Chains A and B, each alone.
Chain A
Amino acid sequence: MSMPAIEIQGVTKAFRHRERQSGAPLWRRAWKEKVALHELDLKVEPGGVTGILGPNGSGKSTLIRILGTLLTPDAGTAKVFGCDVVTDALQVRRHVNRVSVEAAFFKELSPWENMIYASRLYGNTSRGTRRRVVEILKMLGLPEDVIDQPMKELSRGQQQKVAIARSFLTAPSLLLMDEPTTGLDPRSKKEVQAVLERLRAEREITVLLCTHDMDEAAALCDRVLMLDGGRLLADASPDQLCAQHGAATLEDVFMHLSGKTLETEEVIL
């Protein structure tokens, strides 16, 4: 029996900040707590694309950050391929890479310079990297001449494709994708989705995909988790969810379960 790609047991995460209530003296500030994840249990087997759906503030990004060793849970345990995200963080990082909604790069550097840097951080030498970078960028539909332009001169969509290319370059076993297609034009979005589909078919990789796009989730995900207020509302394949709740779309399922739409604005965590 293979080891689960992700195994989470009772993970809780809350953020505290001090706030002065109206009318209170300047020096009197009370602690306020916002629970981002509430005793979450989750198991994801290796391979396939697991979607996480939920409105802003539902805990999606917090979950991604915990799995990426960027946040520590307040309680519970989270493991990636059997390695604990707190006590064995370095080992977890060897398995994981991430694409977030904002393409974080050194903006003055070119895609090539950013990618060779990322490649070195993941222990690769420069030999053959340029060829692989060109291959991946081509696969994502980026023209070859952008490879040496400063990132700041690339469009938002092109920057996001370079971010995805960067994550592919390091060959992760678990790819955490936090709204990777948000803000992309329809054509770029389709190209990124096509790459994800191909990735799912060709490579032994587990993808955790946070998205607001219901069509994207229905098309790409083998399994969908719905989160709201840090709690798991539903966990099944898109077809099963629709069938179980007699809904036509995943958005309808979410509304049925939570009484909210996915666009509901809450505090972003």
Chain B
Amino acid sequence: MIGVRGSEMSALFGFAERQLYVYKRYWVWEVVWLFYSIVSVLSIGFLASGLGSLGAGGGSFDLRKAQLYLLIGALLWGYLSLVFMEAAYAIAWERWEGTIEYTFMAPVRRMTHLMGICLFAIVYGLARTFIVLLVAVAIFEIDFSHADIAGALIVLAASMAPLVGLAILTSVLPLLSPQKGEQMSFAVQGFMLLVSGVYYPLTVLPWPLQAAGFVSPLTYALAGMRSSLLQGSTMADQLPTVGILLGMGAVLIPIGFAVFTWAERRAKRLGLLKRSG
């Protein structure tokens, strides 16, 4: 007999393992998605290369730097959006499979449930992004000799905290609206792409969007990683960014769980778990 903590750990691993089994079954589609990710990143890289032939290479414009700036944005966005959507989509997907009632009546804390999904998404996202990175480095001969990899990794690790909080908040949507909640996850993802400075600095945005970008954790994650990869900012330099990201995580994760708990109670009161719409 294992204790409550062991039981929760077993369940945490169970959620991650289940995702692994699902991905193994859908491996052909995962290859297709990987191909799509590579194509997306390469398109951005070639877009940057094309800027030179469009006459953008003159003056103080550093084409090489611009290419790296965009490639880092594309790679990171691919990774962060994968983690975000995996977690955000967890409830919608279980509803679609018809297993949601079984998962919700298992003796598992909701935190374990959602963290198990996030755990797999983080590991899987890292593996997939690493493959895309290798292809991008080979094709565009990216030079990371001036980069501080440790600094970039610490920002990446810290960015997981607020990202998980945001993803949990978004995963609530299918509980609130079985019919339309899932599509709203895409709307949230699209808005984050717009305001978080993935492909351009926030300064080009109108001020209301700049304000939204200012509170988006992805803005800090991207800025921090670019700083380490392009300018060689060290771990020590990144401490303020790490602090901001962890602070945002400390706020967003409890809020995410509180909202999820409220939405679960509401769904149980109104009988929304059963509906497959």
- Is there contact, CB below 8 Å, between A65 and B21? no
How far does the alpha carbon of A120 sit from the alpha carbon of B108 in the complex, in Å? 10
Residues B1-30 near A (CB distance < 8 A): 2, 6-8, 10-11, 13-14, 17-18, 21-22, 25-26
Give chain B residues whose Cβ lies under 8 Å from the Cβ of A96: 105
Q: Does B103 contact A (CB under 8 A)?
A: yes
Assess whether B58 is interfacial by the CB under 8 Å rule.
no
Closest A residue to B16 using CB positions: A120
Contact call A106/B105, Cβ cutoff below 8 A: no
A65-B274, A104-B102, A120-B10 are contacts. A94–B107 as well, Cβ < 8 Å? yes
User: Taking CB as reference atom, which chain B residue is nearest A120?
Assistant: B14
Is the Cβ of B268 less than 8 Å from the Cβ of A125? no
Question: Of the candidates A97, A104, A108, A123, which one forms a contact with B10 in the assembled complex, judged by CB atoms under 8 Å apart?
Answer: A123
Is A98 in contact with B107, judged by CB distance below 8 angstroms? no
CB distance from B170 to the nearest CB of A (A): 22
**Contact A117 B105, beta carbon cutoff 8 Å:** no
Question: Are B107 and A120 neighbours in the complex by a CB distance under 8 Å?
Answer: no
**Interface mask (A190-230 → B, CB under 8 Å = 1, otherwise 0):** 00000000000000000000000000000000000000000
Contact B106 A116, beta carbon cutoff 8 Å: no
* A102 at the binding interface (Cβ < 8 Å): yes
Asked, given contacts A15-B271, A109-B22, whether A121 binds B107 with beta carbons under 8 Å apart, the answer is yes
Question: A93-B107, A109-B22 in contact; A70/B17 too (CB < 8 A)?
Answer: no
A90 within 8 A of B: yes
Q: What are 24 A-B residue pairs whose CB atoms fall within 8 Å in the complex?
A: A15-B271, A16-B270, A65-B274, A69-B105, A70-B104, A70-B105, A70-B273, A72-B268, A93-B107, A97-B105, A98-B102, A105-B97, A106-B21, A108-B26, A109-B18, A109-B22, A117-B14, A117-B18, A121-B14, A121-B108, A122-B107, A124-B10, A150-B25, A269-B271
Counting from the closest, the 5 A-B pairs by CB-CB distance are A120-B14, A123-B7, A93-B107, A121-B106, A108-B25
Task: Write the residues of chain A forming the contact surface with B, with a CB cutoff of 8 angstroms.
Answer: 15-16, 65, 68-72, 90-91, 93-94, 96-98, 100, 102, 104-109, 113, 116-125, 150, 269
